[in-house]
Amino acid sequence: MLKIDRENHSLTPLEKPTLSEAAVRERYDLQEFICNSPDVFFVELGQELFLIGSELQPSETVQDRIDILAIDREGTVVVVELKRGNHKLQLMQAISYAAMVAAGAWASFQQ
């Protein structure tokens, strides 16, 4: 994102502090901000999604919780896993949650 300097007719980059530097926590700040205004967040991502809920347990055998769960117009479930940092195993966590959600949906469908 750029800052417009009308006086000098120029652009300058805005500072990009990390969430940690800005003292924004995942669950108690970012997740709450998103859940309080999901439409704004999803539009920013370029997605048309409906918020299902937050802090949802994907399986009875897993103690972890999905940060945010949404669904699109076609019925595709979207797992939103919030992280302040960047670690290679974070993607695996989101994929495992998606698999648990899909397995649970399939089991419900078969009954």
pLDDT in tens, 4-35: 989 999 999 888 887 778 888 777 888 999 99
| Confidence band for 107, pLDDT divided at 50, 70 and 90 | low
Q: What is the pLDDT of residues 47-106, one digit of tens each?
A: 999 999 999 888 777 788 889 999 999 988 898 988 877 777 778 888 888 888 877 754
Cross-strand pairs, 68: 54, 80
In the chain, where the domains are located: 2-110
Q: What's the rounded Cα separation, in Å, for the pair 99 and 79?
A: 10
Q: What's the rounded Cα separation, in Å, for the pair 19 and 62?
A: 27
Q: Which residues of 34-48 are buried (b: 16+ CB within 10 A; e: fewer)?
A: beeebeebbeeeeee
Task: Kindly report the pTM of this predicted structure.
Answer: 0.72
